[in-house]
Structure 1
Amino acid sequence: MSDSAPPSALIDPFGRRIDYLRVSVTDRCDLRCTYCLPKGFKGFEEPAHWLRHDEMLRLVGLFVRLGVAKVRLTGGEPLLRRGVVDLAAGIAALPGLADLSLSTNGTRLAAQAAALKAAGVRRLNVSLDTLDRGCFARITGADRLEAVLAGLEAARAVGLAPIKLNMVVQGEVNEHDVERMLDFALTRDFLLRLIEVMPMGDTGRSARQVDVSRLGARLAGGRGLVPTLPGRDAGPARYWADADGRWRLGVITPLSQHFCATCNRVRLTVDGTLHLCLGQEDRVPLGAMLRDGADDDELLAAIRAGIAAKPERHDFASRPTKVVRFMAQTGG
């Protein structure tokens, strides 16, 4: 993809080109990770408010018309949504789209990996915080580690690549397992990313933070990995590479070293609400506008107006209680 922005490109007030859209196809999940959803949470969006697939496809198509080249399907757990493979195929066929990926917890991946690849999904992010079965059950509330591992093997077998393992590191919970997680990733050609807990909702704020930058540097040094120069494709992560230049380990540090200056993304929730920043409350009700009969020109104008009001950065450090919604409500 060229670095030069097309005339229709979305440029925010701080000169950042917004070319990446994350689309939450459901806020439901079959796991209950302690840092994501509180135990017994029932405040999910009503199914009647979910965008139908044709409505999602229409909105995504408008973003692509405005220069968005990368789309990621997320949740909750996107593979819970019926017809998500057909939705993926429709999005992958949009003229101008360069990349379609999917984030998943992996519990249903084994049965759907081949269909996702055939639909046009090329890359995966799989949430996996530990290889310890007991620890996995404590974090997620379910004994599903074997299903996730089977999903990873199925995805690798059908050629989905790269496959990134997203490990949210929590002190005194799973920090002990990072060495084993890295060895697991290296032997299977996965990319491990260590992530700080997002302080969203009470669950995120209560988790014990770990300095993943220092942790990543130690792990990389012990395995002969070298730091790489940040590039546009790196997104919010910083990486270490092997001798062949392949990224093998990364860290994502929204708190200790925020990456707001290079933010290129916005998020669309299952009801069509456009969130302009993960750590702010600015939003555009595109789904409500669509269902009220807005035409494409009106929706395009609303998208442009939203991007023109995109905040400069989050306030997770200075105002940790500002965002009360949980991560699953916004989309990963």
Structure 2
Amino acid sequence: MLLDRFNRRIDYLRVSVTDRCNYRCVYCMPEAPFMHKNHSDILSYEQIESVAKAAAGVGITKIRLTGGEPLVRKDIEQLVAKLAAIDGIDKVCMTTNGSLLVDMATILKRSGLGRVNISIDSLNTEKFRRITRGGDLRQALAGVEAAKKAELTPIKINMVIFNDTTQEDIETMKTFCEQRGLELQQIMRFSLYNRTDFSRRFETQRPPKCSQCNRLRLTADGYLKPCLFSDNEVRIDFDNITGSILEAVTKKPENGSHCRNRLMNQIGG
């Protein structure tokens, strides 16, 4: 069992496979053009597999693939198959915007993917387009149906709550999920740059979960992040992957406050 300094069991690894996405959601990417990582800087599937094997060896049992948008990376099903075959890994999941699932859901299921979280922040076509900066709600909804058909279940809908999100928006999404047997996770929009403000604003609405945090994050360019709300990172040493993982666990803070060195698409949420 892998424990951190605060006796939290660490058994969950979130893996960002790319910083690229076919959307530019307002909470994830800046509107202005910015430099993506060079392909040569992104971990290969073999490198990710090596990290996952080492992680399983010290107690990681669940892996979630994120991005960016994981489905924009070529042959992602091959990585799913590699991870699903690792001894000790019980679950391989994915968070996706759903827009590419129509063509990929069945392939992913056959490769060993267990379930998906699908990000849909509004069922209003215009709001959805504005939030995603050009996304097509119809594609995302078709992705939900494809995931259901492929039995990538239980399916969870991630809905970010904005200042202009109305009660009607929330009730419409609740009804949508209830009618289709989907789980709904509402996420308050926040800034990585100042979690203190976020905590003050929402402390009565959502209890802090730092005390229950069980995860590490692997960035697409090969850094382990012990905490979403911290600048602490550990560069993976491929000559001593286990040592890198254990170092990251020792650097996991009791509580995080900010992260200034990466955008959300570079971490994977």
TM-score (norm 2): 0.94
| Counterpart for residue 80 of structure 2 | 88
Q: Which residue of 2 aligns with 1:280?
A: 230
Q: Does structure 1 residue 167 correspond to structure 2 residue 117?
A: no
Matches within 5 A, 1:113-262: 113-173=105-165, 176-201=168-193, 253=206, 257-262=207-212
* Equivalent of residue 301 in structure 1, options 239, 243, 260: 243
Give, in whole Å, the separation in 1 of the partners of 2:185 and 2:251. 31
Partner of 2:33: 41
Counterpart CA distance in 1 for 2:129 and 2:40 is 32
Distance 1:118 1:258 in 2: 37
| Alignment TM-score, normalising by the size of structure 1 | 0.76
- 1:276-310 Cα distance to aligned partner (Å, 9 max, x none): 00000111100xx22xxx1xxx2212211221221
> Structure 1: which 5+ runs fail to align?
1-8, 215-252, 317-321
Partner of 2:52: 60
RMSD of aligned C-alpha atoms? 2.2
State the alpha-carbon separation in 2 of the partners of residues 205 and 186 from structure 1.
Answer: 34
Q: Which whole-Å CA distance do the structure 1 matches of 2:266 and 2:141 have between them? A: 26
Q: Which stretch of the first structure deviates more once superposed, 36-45 or 140-149?
A: 36-45
Q: 1:13 to 1:74 in 2, by over 3 A?
A: same
Contact 1:19 1:67 in 2 (8 A): yes
Displacement of 1:43: 2.8
Match of 2:268 in 1: 331
Quick check: 1:269 aligned with 2:206? no
Amino acid aligned to 1:271: D
Task: Find the aligned partners of 2:203 and 2:99 in 1 and give their Cα distance.
Answer: 26
AA at the equivalent of 1:163:
I
Letter in 1 for 2:262: R
Task: Determine what percentage of the aligned residue pairs are the same residue.
Answer: 37
Specify the code of the residue in structure 2 equivalent to 1:325. Answer: R
In 2, Cα distance between equivalents of 1:95 and 1:304 = 19
Q: Select the structure of larger CA radius of gyration.
A: 1
Task: Spell out, residue by residue over 1:36-75, the C-alpha distance to the aligned partner (whole angstroms, 9 max, x if none).
Answer: 1110231321111001111111111110111100000000
Identify the structure with bigger relative contact order (alpha carbons < 8 Å, sequence gap 6+).
2
Deviation, 1:19, is: 0.3
Q: Is 2:196–2:257's contact at 8 Å kept on the other side of the alignment?
A: no
